[in-house]
Structure 1
Amino acid sequence: MIRRFFLFFAVFFLLPLGTHAAWWQWQSRAPDWARADWSSAALLPAPAIAPEATVHIFAARVGRWRGVFAHHSWVVVKEKNAPAYTRFDVVGWGNPVRVNVRVADGRWYGNVPELVGEIKGQAAEALIPRIRDAVKSYSYSEYGSYAAWPGPNSNSFVQHILSEVPELGRALPPTAIGKDWREGGLYAGLTPSRTGLQASLYGLAGVTFGWVEGVEINLLGLVAGFDLQRPALKLPGWGRVGL
């Protein structure tokens, strides 16, 4: 049994992570925080051009060696006819919860963000107040409460919003380390989207089965599995690999 477990771990966790690490070494990356590009990736229209209410969830690879296996995620909202977007992040310095710490669709450490999900119009109008309430209710907003691994971190924060507002109907990338961290450490119950079941042990081990989240096995924060909604593999390092 132990031998089979280590074989499973090597094939589905270590092998994908190792190949992605090798690929990552060949990519052009910013040498440090100060010299990274944090500018807009031009993913969002100017508010004056698109006056309707919108909700966007973004995720981007983190910097340097951590980009091998991890994404940083955040939420952007804009009320109808609002003159600007509002971005909500959790960061690892100072007080964790930040508003407009960077431009709404900005690169993260030079890496272009991917759009995890968006909602527009009346549906967005109805959800934005609840998203703002979820931001306020996040329990780990005090100085020193951030923990990069296993959490609570930026992805734990966005997962909290997804759980408080399940109508968003989106799942974070499998490489959003910290998304499976739960307050109290032990968790067994519904997935954030309320479309399945999840069990988690301090975000270090767990299983998930849901229509939105798909099938996921979490070991040490690394996730392998399968996306059910939009068929794709979920692999450590590589993230979601569409079929």
Structure 2
Amino acid sequence: MKKILCVATLATLLSACSNSDWRTASREPAGIAPAPDQEPEAVIEVYGADAFSWRGWFAVHTWIATKEAGASEYKVHEVVGWRVKRGQPALYSYMTTTPDRYWFGAKPEKILSMKGDKAAELIPKIDQAVQDYPWKNDYTVFPGPNSNTFPAWVGLQVPELELDLPFSAIGSGYAN
């Protein structure tokens, strides 16, 4: 009886995780990023959201968004594991007006936010670090390289960011 109760409890807890179907999980904007058409200054933001499904109990997915002064969109840089399974690079950069989208059902939180002249000065350094990222085509959940290794590595290349990833950014230590 105890075994059945344990299995039932575990099944209930697992079903309470973020959406179990990534295809229908929310990817809506969280509304926490400055709207690019209303923010004329340069912006750097780093976000983290609970990882998808049961992994979100103990780990986050992190990504970097930059917007140059006067730009109408952000450039988002992130590492995504399933891209590798499809024969694509893990590192993915794209343009968007909504860099703060939910991560498959999990609302993101700002880890870092920087605006103005300092952000404008650091964006080219971030772009160079993205180009130089050594694990563009690699992804391993643990110990890395993974989605948290990437921003950690950028932070090491651009120490002026003073990027401090949360403890739940599992894989961030791989970059050291």
Point out the structure with the larger helix share: 2
- Equivalent of 2:127 in 120, 132, 137: 132
Whole-angstrom distance in 2 between the partners of 1:167 and 1:49: 26
C-alpha distance 85-101 of structure 1, shift in aligned 2 (>3 A) = closer
Q: Is the 8 A contact 2:74 2:95 kept in 1?
A: no
Q: Is the 8 A contact 1:54 1:124 kept in 2?
A: yes
- Equivalent of 2:117 in 122, 127, 135: 122
Whole-angstrom distance in 1 between the partners of 2:38 and 2:79: 29
Q: Is the 8 A contact 2:18 2:56 kept in 1?
A: no
- The SS at the match of 1:38 is coil
Whole-angstrom distance in 2 between the partners of 1:65 and 1:154: 16
Q: How many residues of Structure 1 are paired with residues of Structure 2 in the alignment?
A: 161
Structure 2 unpaired stretches of 5+: 1-9
- Equivalent of 2:61 in 53, 72, 79: 72
Structure 1 unpaired stretches of 5+: 1-20, 188-243
Moved over 4 A (4+): 24-28
How far did 1:28 drift? 5.8
How far did 1:32 drift? 1.3
- Equivalent of 1:96 in 80, 90, 96: 90
C-alpha distance 31-101 of structure 1, shift in aligned 2 (>3 A) = farther
TM-score normalized with structure 1 length: 0.62
How far did 1:46 drift? 1.8
TM-score normalized with structure 2 length: 0.85
How far did 1:83 drift? 0.9
Point out the structure with the larger strand share: 1
- The SS at the match of 2:62 is strand
Whole-angstrom distance in 1 between the partners of 2:29 and 2:52: 17
- Equivalent of 2:172 in 174, 179, 183: 179
How far did 1:31 drift? 1.8
- The SS at the match of 1:88 is strand
> What amino acid is aligned across from residue 181 of structure 1 in structure 2?
Y
- The SS at the match of 1:176 is coil
Spell out the pairing of 1:40-119 with structure 2 (5 A cutoff). 40-92=29-81, 93=83, 94-100=88-94, 103-119=98-114
How far did 1:167 drift? 0.6
> What amino acid is aligned across from residue 139 of structure 1 in structure 2?
P
Residue 216 of structure 1 corresponds to none
Q: Percent identity over the alignment? A: 36
Whole-angstrom distance in 1 between the partners of 2:155 and 2:29: 24
Whole-angstrom distance in 2 between the partners of 1:25 and 1:39: 23
